[in-house]
Every structure is written in C-alpha cells, then in structure tokens.
Structure 1
Amino acid sequence: MVTAAVWASATGAVGVRSPLPGVVALLLAAASGWAAGLVRTRRWPLFLAAAVSWLVLAAAAPGVVASYQAGLRLRGRRLTGYLVGVALVLTSGVLVGLAVGGARRVTTATVGNVLLLTACVVGLPLVVGLWVRARRDTLAALRDRAERLEREQEARADQVRAEERTRIAREMHDVVAHRVSLMVVHAGALEVTAADPEIVEAAALIRETGRLALIDLREVLGVLRQAGPAAVPERTLDALDELIGESRAAGLRVCRRDEGVATTLPATVGRTAYRVVREALTNVRKHAADAETTVSLRYLPGGLEVVVHNGPSGPGPTLPGAGHGLLGLRERVELLGGRLEAAPVGDGFLVRALIPVAGAA
C-alpha cells in the first residue's frame, strides 16, 4: 500500500508529479514499502524512507505511517527526537519547494499548505498512534489488575479453605476421636475382666476395630491440616480380602467370587472398586447384618464390574444412615466414565458398579 501511494504521488496521480526518472521513483516507492514492512522490528528505515520520499518526491504516505508508528512505539526522548527530525525535514521540504518552484512550491512551500500538511501528515497520525498506545496500556493495566485481583482472591480462598479444614479437623479430633478412644478403652477393659470367651472375643474385635478407626482418622486429620492439596492413602483391590475378612470377623456372612481373567488395573479403578465394596459392606452391616452377601468382581475387556448383593435379613435393629456414601460413590464412578446402580432386588439389595479402564489413570 505504501509502495502504491508513493508511486501514485511520483506520477502525479496523487500529489505533485516528479520530474525525476521513473526508475528513481520506482526504487523509492519499493524502498518505502520495504521499510514499512520492517517497522515491527526496525523503525529507522521507515523514518529514513519518509524523509527521503518527502524531500525527493513530496510523497506523504511514508510520513503518515512513520508518524503513526512514532506515536504508537516511541516514548520520551525518542519521541522528542522524532519531532525534531520532522521539523527539520519539513523545513528542508520548504527550501526544496522554493528551489524547484512550480506546483512543488505551491504544495510544499506556502504557509497554508505547510500547516495543513503538517497537521495531516504528522499531527493526526501521531495523535492516533498515541491514542492507540494509551488504549493498549490501559487495557494491559486493567488485565494485570484483574489477574492480580484473581490471584489475591484465590489466595484468600485458599486461606479460608485451610482455616475451615483446620476447624473441621479440630472438631473431628475433639468429638469423634474422643468417643472412639473411649470405646477402645472400655472394650479393652471388658476384654480383660470378662469371663465368657465369646464376650472376650467380641471385646477384642471391638478394641481392634476401634484402634484401626483411630489410625484411619489420624490419617484423615493429617490431610485436613495440610496447607496444600494432598490425598488420603487409599487401598486398592489388593486389600479386598482383608476387607472381607474384617467384615466376617464383625459377623457378616460374606463370600467373594471372581469372573474372567484378572488383569492389572489402573490405580484409580482399583481404588474406586475397593471403595464401592467397602461402602456396600458398610451398608450391609447397618441394615442387614445377618444377610448372606456376595462380592463379585467381573473382569471385562474394557473395564471392571463390581457387584455386591445381599439377601434378605431378619428383623433387628439397624444403624442410621443418610445415603451420602452411595451418592459420593456414584460421583466417583461417573468421574471415571462409569455408572453405579444401587437398588432393592427382591428381599435384598444390590450395588453394581461398571468402571471402564479407558481414560483412567
């Protein structure tokens, strides 16, 4: 575009026709376009081309681009130096116009035209460049401020979360740990003083279960008190037999059944499957402690199916529950792209989870 504008000015299509040979005008036009293309990395070729084009051909296009780029990119002393250079070039242009005479003198050497050209070629593009730069600086400042405020908000949110986690950990320690500790102490005393072997065995089981509960609770409280993100140590399917053994020791009638060819599963799949079985057996202990229960693992080509089914139970006391455990399990399974079903089946209850391997880490 700059090349075309300089050529148009040199040929008289726009501006004053130059008496110089066409090859000179063509070279100056090409040089001006090349200098305009380099303005992002080098500015001085454009400024030089603008000065030469004005003095030789009275072409204003490079000067317009140079003034805009000066307002956009120059600051302080460099901008002042540019304006001084512009004044020298315009003064030299007046002298050239007086020497050449004719249309060149009328265009570049009369007071009215000099003032008009100064305003159009220098003043207006310079002001536009300054406005664009000020707008960019304002937007950058607003962006930096928004990012800073976002970081401060995240820091405050992290602080609030840390304080809330510490408060929860403290309350859990004060309430839950205290009561479980009392349960362990009383169970230990009953184990020592009881004469009935069955009572001694039951008291020992309660004491050991309470001790393990205190260990798990201590791990959870340790995670809650940590400032950064952390994960509670979780078991996988390798500990499933131990979980079933604990349930049997607590009085449940549980059997395990595996189908398909066992394969190495991603850690997230193993942890999720273990949690499904653990939550299902917990619900069995709460609501059907005397029911026969089957834990089935079915290894599929694309994943793992976990089924926990308990039969009917006789009348007896049940423990309270809010259903949040199954809700959390469903969310965990769905995060892996699977699905969880939990519903009564006949006189019993069925929990089925299909956990795909694809996408699990």
Structure 2
Amino acid sequence: MVLRVGVARHVIPGLDPRVADVLDDVHGTGTTALTDLRRLVEVLRGPGGVQSDAALTAIEPGALPAALGAAVDTARRTGLTVEADIDEAVGGVDSVRGLAVLRLTQEALTNVAKHAGPTARACLRITVDDDAVTWEVADDGGSATPSALKGPGFSAPSVGPGAGSGTVGGHGLIGMRERVEVLGGKLTAGPSGTGWLVRTVLPKVAA
C-alpha cells in the first residue's frame, strides 16, 4: 500500500494539490504504521523466540495505568511490599512503549521476589517528561531496615560483572535490555544500598 501510494504520488500527471495532500497523508500514516509494527514485533519477541501469553497482549492507549496497577497488585499478593509512584501521564504513552513498560515492570517485580525474597520491599517509579518515559524499580535486598529504600536520592547503579547474564546478580536482565534497546533506550542495573536498582529512559518517539 505504501509503495503504491508513493508511486501514484509521482506518476499521476497534473495532480490536484488537495489529492496530493491526501496521498501524502496516506503514505505517511502507512509508513508510521510499518515502523510501529516492526518495533512491536521486536518488543514482543521473547528469549529464544518463545512468547508468553502475556507478551502477546498489546496495550491500548489509556489502558496502561490499570495494567500497571494489576501488575503491582499481583506482586503484592506474593508477599512483596510495593510502593508505586506512577505518573498519570503514562496513560498517553503509545502502545509499543506502553507494552515495554508493563513487561519491564512485571519482570522486575518478579525478579525482586525471586532474588530478594517475597518479603522484600520494592519501589516502582514511572514518570513522563516531554514524552520520554523514565522507569525504575528498586528493592531493599530483603533487608528489614526502613532506610534501605532511599527514595529519589538513592545512589546510581553500577553494573557489576555478570549483570545481564541471567544470574542472581544480573537479575535476568538480558530480555529486559533487549526490550529497551529496541526502543532506543539503555538499561542500567546494579547494587543500590542493600538492594538492587534497574532503570531506563524510553526516549520520545520520533515524529
């Protein structure tokens, strides 16, 4: 469709400017849709080509806040104490990045329960600034010390040996990094206080 509209735009003689505008709009919309589909396929791709049922569910615009709330509730039912600070603006995030944010959240909270223990404390923070999405999950490593989660001022993570290797130290970061890199971001992860911090910024979608 995109190819044929592009050809038509250039071969039809004496094209009315109004028709040209319509063809340009169709061509631009189609091109954007193709780009989104390619990005979505990459985000949905699971390790080894295996996809879970949850990964195959795209997030409609506006549905992300409720989906994140459900992910937090699921984590809390395992025994985790989860503090969630989610910017209301996430409701306007496009479906591709929205799906990535949801999957990152699910994976990170699952990893906290697995590696820090079901009684650990975790903090999920998601903010949207100029359409860039900042996402992070921190945990206290299972420590009972109230100050283990330091809030916005906690130290930046340092990536240690084996981070991203799928080991306990790396918190199974390979798939998470792939999701982020496909969308032009970079995942940082490492020790923070007595626990672990995973963080990324998903950049603004190019017009």
- Please tell me the TM-score bracket, short chain as reference: 0.5 to 0.7
TM-score, length-normalised on structure 1?
Answer: 0.33
Question: C-alpha root-mean-square deviation of aligned residues, in Å?
Answer: 3.1
Q: Which residue of 1 aligns with 2:185?
A: 338
The 8 Å contact of residues 341 and 351 in structure 1, kept in 2 or not, is answered as yes
Q: How does 1:163-182 map to 2 (within 5 A)?
A: none
Shift of 1:273: 0.7
Q: How does 1:1-40 map to 2 (within 5 A)?
A: none
1:294 is aligned to 2:123: yes
TM-score, length-normalised on structure 2?
Answer: 0.55
The 8 Å contact of residues 189 and 198 in structure 2, kept in 1 or not, is answered as yes
Runs of 4+ displaced beyond 4 Å: 259-263
The 8 Å contact of residues 296 and 308 in structure 1, kept in 2 or not, is answered as yes
Q: Which residue of 1 aligns with 2:93?
A: 265
Residue 234 to residue 302, structure 1, CA distance change in 2 (3 Å): closer
Shift of 1:336: 1.1
How far apart are the structure 2 equivalents of 1:248 and 1:256?
11
More helix by share: 1
Q: How does 1:71-150 map to 2 (within 5 A)?
A: none
Q: Which residue of 1 aligns with 2:56?
A: 232
Bigger CA radius of gyration: 1
Shift of 1:282: 1.1
Gapped regions of structure 1 (runs ≥ 5): 1-167, 173-215, 221-230, 316-320
Residue 324 to residue 297, structure 1, CA distance change in 2 (3 Å): closer
Residue 259 to residue 286, structure 1, CA distance change in 2 (3 Å): same
Q: Which residue of 2 aligns with 1:350?
A: 197
Structure showing greater relative contact order (alpha-carbon pairs closer than 8 Å, 6 or more residues apart): 2
The 8 Å contact of residues 303 and 354 in structure 1, kept in 2 or not, is answered as yes
Q: Which residue of 1 aligns with 2:76?
A: 248
How far apart are the structure 1 equivalents of 2:96 and 2:203?
10
Q: Which residue of 2 aligns with 1:129?
A: none
The 8 Å contact of residues 302 and 356 in structure 1, kept in 2 or not, is answered as yes
Count of equivalent residues? 132
Q: Which residue of 2 aligns with 1:308?
A: 137
The 8 Å contact of residues 279 and 326 in structure 1, kept in 2 or not, is answered as no
Q: Which residue of 1 aligns with 2:110?
A: 282
How far apart are the structure 2 equivalents of 1:356 and 1:295?
19
Shift of 1:263: 5.1
Residue 324 to residue 331, structure 1, CA distance change in 2 (3 Å): farther
How far apart are the structure 2 equivalents of 1:305 and 1:327?
19
More strand by share: 2
Shift of 1:343: 0.8
The 8 Å contact of residues 293 and 311 in structure 1, kept in 2 or not, is answered as yes
The 8 Å contact of residues 93 and 131 in structure 2, kept in 1 or not, is answered as no
The 8 Å contact of residues 269 and 357 in structure 1, kept in 2 or not, is answered as no
The 8 Å contact of residues 276 and 353 in structure 1, kept in 2 or not, is answered as no
The 8 Å contact of residues 288 and 312 in structure 1, kept in 2 or not, is answered as yes
Return the letter of the residue paired with 2:198.
Answer: V
The 8 Å contact of residues 336 and 356 in structure 1, kept in 2 or not, is answered as yes
Gapped regions of structure 2 (runs ≥ 5): 1-47, 145-165
Shift of 1:357: 2.5
Q: Which residue of 2 aligns with 1:329?
A: 176
Shift of 1:262: 4.6
The 8 Å contact of residues 141 and 194 in structure 2, kept in 1 or not, is answered as yes
How far apart are the structure 2 equivalents of 1:278 and 1:333?
14
